[in-house]
Amino acid sequence: MGYNILVVDDEKLIVKGIKFSLEQDGMTVTPAYDGEEALNYIKEKEFDLVVLDVMLPKMDGLEVCQQTREFSQIPIIMVTAKGEDMDKIMGLEYGADDYITKPFNILELKARIKAILRRSTKKGAETPSAAQRLKIRNLELEYESRRVFIDGKETNLTAKEFDLLELLMKNHGKVYSREKLLDLIWGYDYPGDVRTVDVHVRRLREKIEDNPSEPKYIFTKWGVGYYFN
For every residue of 202-228, which 3-state class applies, written as one string?
Answer: HHHHHHHCCCCCCCCCEEEECCCEEEE
Average pLDDT, the chain: 86
Residue numbers of the domain that contains 204: 130-228
Element (H, E) at 31: strand 28-32
What's the whole-number mean pLDDT along residues 60-81? 91
- Is pLDDT above 60 for 155? yes
Q: State the pLDDT confidence band at 128, using cuts at 50, 70 and 90.
A: very low
Reported as a single tens digit per residue, the pLDDT across 167-178 is: 998 898 999 998
- Is pLDDT above 70 for 3? yes
pLDDT of residue 129: 46
Which distant-in-sequence residues (6+ apart) come within 8 Å of 225 by Cβ?
A: 175, 176, 177, 178, 180, 181
In terms of average pLDDT, the best of 15-24, 78-87, 194-203 is 15-24
pLDDT of residue 118: 78
| Amino acid in the structure at residue 141 | L
pLDDT of residue 127: 41
Are 94 and 166 part of one and the same domain? no
What CATH code is carried by the domain that includes residue 189? 1.10.10.10
Range name among 26-35, 134-143, 213-222 with the lowest pLDDT average: 134-143
d(CA 22, CA 48): 13
- Is pLDDT above 80 for 144? no
Are 103 and 173 part of one and the same domain? no
Count of domains forming the chain = 2
Are 19 and 109 part of one and the same domain? yes
